[in-house]
Amino acid sequence: MTLCYRIRAQLMDKIQEGQQAGATDQQLGACRQGFRPEYCDATPHASLNRKSMRDVAHNVPTGGLFKNTTVLLLAVTVIGANAFLLSPILKTVGDSIHSNAPMTAWAVSAYGGATALSGLFLTGLLQPRGYRFTLFVGGALLAGGVAVTGLAGSLGFLVAGQALAGLGAGVILPAAYGATSVIAPEGGESRVMGWVIAGWSISLVLAVPTSAMIAHYVSWRYAYLVITLLALISVAGVATLPAERSNDNPRRSSITQALRVAWAPSTLLVSFLYMCAFYGVYTFLGDYTQRVLNQSTIGAGFVVLGYGLGFGLASVVGAVIDRYSPRTLAGPLLLILCAVYLAGVAAAGCLATLVLWAIVWGVFNQLGLNCLVTVLTHLSSEHGIRLLGLYSVAAYGGAMIAALVFGSLYQWAGFGAILVLASVLCMTAALIAVKLRRSQHAKRCCGV
């Protein structure tokens, strides 16, 4: 298998040094294969395998993969805990600040819009400073925004707090996803990406239901206080990540350069439609469970828990995406999601079937998310971070629009109507993904 771009570049440097030092063709050949890199330094020490060489190339200590993955996973978990908490307690928060559900959902729109703008502008500004600095700044903004949310006494402060949290999330996610492609072993990018994305599942399985219980038995404000503390712990964990050397920091790339990357605009459009469908349904899932099914905040938390369990179950099959190619699987997965949303119309009649449906929804939603993010990270090594920033724009711009559009539809036609709209969006995304895949295959066959 081909070594990643960064290792290949460092191998070429080693080969040039070996040529200048008079190394033999056999030694240089071994260096090119990556099995005996020490030949290029003319040292007789024990050989390094490809994994240890990758660790050296990225300045990551051997055995540090688990620790680094855990730090990134925690950052995603905190973002998920904040992003997903408002849905199951939407009615409770609205009653507290004297607002109805569609208006309280403006906070979701503010979060999505701020995340999109942050991914569009702040990511490019922070990119040259490296992913550790980016994660630190984003974590500080996120912690501050969640704290303001918990202290909010009116709709305006609630919206402002979530907007500030969105600014932080918009720079954390591209940096965390980009760092995943760096620390992952060769050929296992989707597997490691799956574990980092599992932070969303942990937030759904543990953080959100626990916070919902805190909101039910104590106050929703204390739930946001807990998330604030987790955010501060996440910021502290960033300091334990491996330091980057100056030549490891990626060059700043422009938005136009990233959008010129082949198939990037189409992939971002698919991501936009995918996230519109998800957030449009998820935002009002808790309010539907409480108002229509007459369940408490804990009952709404059980539905979120079901989704999180499904999301987590899908994390263990990330190797399947590595085996069959995320580009190949994206279209079929989106078609399956289309059917899942339609099935939700029938399953929404009672709490038990809704929880079971949420588990299935979580499984296929995680696989779809894994595919889309992995495709973006492989489109361009030079513009990878910027593309992930644009993914935040597409994804959370979709969240902002979905909260507004789906909110109006939910108030007018009910929960079943927004499930049908979500299905239509996924069908459209699937058709684009299939057409994109065929276009790529045709160009490959023509040798383009």
Q: Enumerate the domain spans of the chain.
A: 5-49, 66-243+251-445
Give me the architecture of the 66-243+251-445 domain, per CATH: Up-down Bundle (1.20)
How confident is the prediction for the chain on average, in pLDDT?
77
* Per-residue pLDDT band at 371 (split at 50, 70, 90): confident
Task: Give me the residue label for tokens 């998310």.
Answer: 369
Q: Which positions ≥6 away from 53 have C-beta within 8 Å?
A: 7, 34, 37
- pLDDT at 320 exceeding the cut of 80: no
Q: What is the mean pLDDT of residues 6-19?
A: 45
Contact yes or no for 224/89 (Cβ under 8 A): no
Task: Give me the residue label for tokens 């490891």.
Answer: 248
Distance CA 274, CA 394 (A): 9
Q: What is the mean pLDDT of residues 196-201?
A: 78
| Buried/exposed code over 110-141 (b: 16+ C-beta within 10 A; e: otherwise) | bbbbbbbbbbbbbbbebbeebbbbbbbbbbeb
Contact yes or no for 139/234 (Cβ under 8 A): yes
pTM exceeds 0.75 for this model: no
What's the pLDDT at 387? Answer: 79
Q: What is the mean pLDDT of residues 232-245?
A: 79
Distance CA 134, CA 85 (A): 24
- 116-125, 213-222, 348-357 — which is least confidently predicted? 116-125
Q: What is the mean pLDDT of residues 157-175?
A: 91
What's the pLDDT at 385? Answer: 67
Distance CA 409, CA 131 (A): 40
What's the pLDDT at 283? Answer: 87
For residue 93, give Cα distances in angstroms to 24, 113, 281, 396. Answer: 71, 20, 19, 22
Q: What is the mean pLDDT of residues 290-302?
A: 87
- In this structure, the dihedral spanned by the alpha carbons of residues 242, 6, 168 and 228, taken in order and rounded to 10 degrees, is -30
Task: Among 30-34, 88-92, 347-351, 384-388, name the most confident range.
Answer: 347-351
Task: Give me the residue label for tokens 């570049």.
Answer: 9
Local structure of 224: helix, strand or coil: helix
- pLDDT at 254 exceeding the cut of 60: yes
What's the pLDDT at 171? Answer: 86
- 190-194, 317-321, 401-405, 406-410 — which is least confidently predicted? 317-321
| 153 CB neighbour count, 10 Å cutoff | 10
What's the pLDDT at 300? Answer: 86
- pLDDT at 54 exceeding the cut of 50: no
| DSSP character at residue 2 | P
